[in-house]
């Protein structure tokens, strides 16, 4: 193993420290999977076997339309352990050097890429070339250029590219979407999105510019960006932003600690958002219309999501987000289903355009005009 690969694996292992423990969630990886025998099943290989991949793998044990059938990792010990745990045979386990061979494996339909941000681009191109569908964690890339190349590669290969925007399938989120669409909230005037936590281990890849492509905005702030778009129901046309950095030893050049940003929409609605790696207990969306408001707190974590309006609680059921996400994505890929709120690669590119504009606004102190195309 070369030194760069060893360093990468060490960073990936350390990153798991920042994630909540899996045992805190009320479902078992050993539960018998209740697959739907009457409909096709999406056979998924997980790439990057870190803490979040384990959460996805556990959640998928409750899926009706998706199943873990492949594993891709640079750590042989993980491939062995996960293979036994999830019933993935040796012939469907790959490393980062040989995973192009998935093209010859009929037991893999799609690859869920759950690796550091900077790796998504190259890995997506390789998966697409192998003729497999791609599900890519957010942010989809570290630049607009990379994101567009991913979209183009998947289109050329005739495969789907979906981004892991799990909140776009969450019941409370969809309830708010329906309320806005029906006019129940009235004309939307204002959105506030607060997203953040204390980063923890200073050596993890999330604060490494080379692997993360940025800092809090790429990781947690993207929820506020994404939320502003699907809660307001419009795409922003301008952005202003300000960066605050209190610990330059951890948050080095190009790695943002805290960013406040403001978005303007064609209707005149505005959004005020905060993204940070320096404060805990920031997970709140607030949407204000002329007739009603919606407050969601927590709004994006693993739940249960809680929401209320002036008339009381939203009272939507709690679901395991990744279970719902993977079943819905299976239907998008296998059945051609159109999701209520899109999760395709073009949406991911639009988010990257907003992220780049926010960084430019921080650097220049000037308002940036947006054209999401």
Do the domain assignments include residue 185? Answer: yes
Domain boundary among 136, 166, 196: 166
Domain boundary among 115, 144, 166: 166
Out of 96, 112, 223, 359, which one is annotated catalytic?
223
CA–CA gap between residue 210 and residue 215 (Å, rounded): 11
For residue 251, pLDDT over 90 is answered with yes
Do the domain assignments include residue 253? Answer: yes
Do the domain assignments include residue 322? Answer: no
* CA dihedral sign, ordered 134, 140, 145, 148: positive
Token pair for 247: 């610990």
**6-41 per-position pLDDT tens digit:** 444 444 433 333 333 333 333 333 335 889 889 999
Out of 138, 160, 175, 353, which one is annotated catalytic?
138
Question: Would you state the pLDDT for residue 10?
Answer: 43
- Collect all residues with Cβ–Cβ distance below 8 Å to 182 and sequence separation of at least 6: none
Q: Is the pLDDT higher at 294 or at 10? A: 294
**Cβ count near 181 (within 10 Å):** 11
Do the domain assignments include residue 59? Answer: yes
3-state secondary structure of 318: coil
Please give the average per-residue pLDDT across 153-177, as a whole number: 98
Question: Would you state the pLDDT for residue 13?
Answer: 37
Average pLDDT over the chain reads 92
Task: Give percent of the chain above pLDDT 70.
Answer: 91
Domain boundary among 123, 149, 166: 166
Domain count, the chain: 2
Question: Would you state the pLDDT for residue 32?
Answer: 57
Range of the domain at 142: 3-166
Question: Would you state the pLDDT for residue 29?
Answer: 33
Do the domain assignments include residue 339? Answer: no
The verdict on whether 252 is a catalytic residue reads no
- Collect all residues with Cβ–Cβ distance below 8 Å to 309 and sequence separation of at least 6: 179, 292, 293, 294, 295
**199-247 per-position pLDDT tens digit:** 999 999 999 999 999 999 999 999 999 999 999 999 999 999 999 999 9
- Residues 142, 202 within the same domain: no
**127-159 per-position pLDDT tens digit:** 999 999 999 999 999 999 999 999 999 999 999
Do the domain assignments include residue 324? Answer: no
CA–CA gap between residue 337 and residue 330 (Å, rounded): 9
CA–CA gap between residue 277 and residue 215 (Å, rounded): 8
Instruction: Give the relative orientation of helices 144-157 and 120-129 as an angle to the nearest 10 degrees.
Output: 10
CATH number of 268's domain: 3.30.360.10
Question: 294 to each of 47, 312, 341, how far by Cα in Å?
Answer: 37, 10, 18
Task: Specify the residue for token string 């300000």.
Answer: 242
- Residues 162, 22 within the same domain: yes
DSSP category for residue 20: P
- Residues 134, 147 within the same domain: yes
The verdict on whether 7 is a catalytic residue reads no
Question: Would you state the pLDDT for residue 373?
Answer: 85
- Residues 159, 231 within the same domain: no
For residue 293, pLDDT over 50 is answered with yes
Please give the average per-residue pLDDT across 170-183, as a whole number: 98
- Residues 190, 130 within the same domain: no
- Residues 141, 205 within the same domain: no
- Residues 195, 150 within the same domain: no
Do the domain assignments include residue 332? Answer: no
At residue 146's C-alpha, the angle toward residues 141 and 149, to 5°, is 125
Do the domain assignments include residue 323? Answer: no
- Residues 222, 351 within the same domain: yes
For residue 346, pLDDT over 70 is answered with yes
Question: Would you state the pLDDT for residue 368?
Answer: 98
Strand partners, 260: 242, 274
Question: Would you state the pLDDT for residue 121?
Answer: 98
């Amino acid at each position: 193993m070369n030194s760069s690969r060893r360093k990468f694996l060490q960073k990936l292992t350390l990153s798991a420290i920042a994630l909540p423990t899996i045992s805190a969630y009320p479902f078992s990886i050993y539960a018998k999977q209740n697959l739907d025998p009457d409909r096709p099943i999406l056979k998924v290989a997980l790439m990057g076997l870190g803490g979040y991949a384990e959460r996805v793998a556990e959640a998928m044990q409750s899926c009706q339309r998706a199943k873990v059938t492949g594993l891709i990792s640079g750590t042989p010990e993980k491939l062995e352990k996960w293979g036994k745990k999830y019933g993935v045979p040796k012939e469907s386990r790959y490393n980062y050097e040989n995973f192009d061979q998935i093209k010859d494996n009929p037991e893999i339909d799609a690859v869920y890429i759950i690796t550091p941000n900077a790796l998504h681009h190259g890995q997506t191109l390789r998966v697409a070339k192998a003729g497999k569908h791609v599900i890519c964690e957010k942010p989809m890339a570290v630049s607009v250029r990379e994101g567009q190349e991913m979209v183009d590669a998947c289109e050329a290969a005739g495969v789907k590219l979906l981004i892991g925007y799990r909140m776009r399938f969450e019941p409370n989120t969809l309830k708010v979407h329906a309320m806005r669409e029906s006019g129940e909230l009235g004309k939307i005037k204002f959105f506030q999105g607060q997203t953040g936590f204390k980063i923890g281990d200073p050596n993890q890849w999330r604060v490494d510019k080379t692997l993360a492509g940025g800092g809090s905005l790429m990781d947690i702030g993207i929820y506020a960006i994404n939320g502003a778009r699907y809660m307001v129901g419009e795409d922003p046309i301008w952005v202003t932003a300000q960066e605050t950095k209190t610990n330059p030893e951890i948050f080095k050049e190009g790695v943002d600690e805290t960013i406040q940003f403001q978005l303007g929409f064609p209707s005149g609605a505005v959004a005020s958002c905060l993204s940070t790696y320096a404060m805990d207990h920031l997970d709140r969306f607030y949407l204000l219309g002329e007739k009603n408001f919606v407050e969601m707190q927590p709004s994006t974590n693993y739940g249960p999501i809680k929401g209320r309006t002036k008339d009381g609680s939203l009272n939507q059921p709690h679901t395991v987000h990744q279970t719902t996400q993977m079943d819905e994505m299976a239907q998008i890929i296998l059945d051609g289903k159109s999701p209520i709120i899109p999760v395709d690669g073009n949406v991911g590119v639009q988010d990257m355009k907003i992220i780049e504009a926010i960084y430019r606004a921080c650097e220049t102190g000037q308002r940036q005009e947006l054209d999401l195309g």
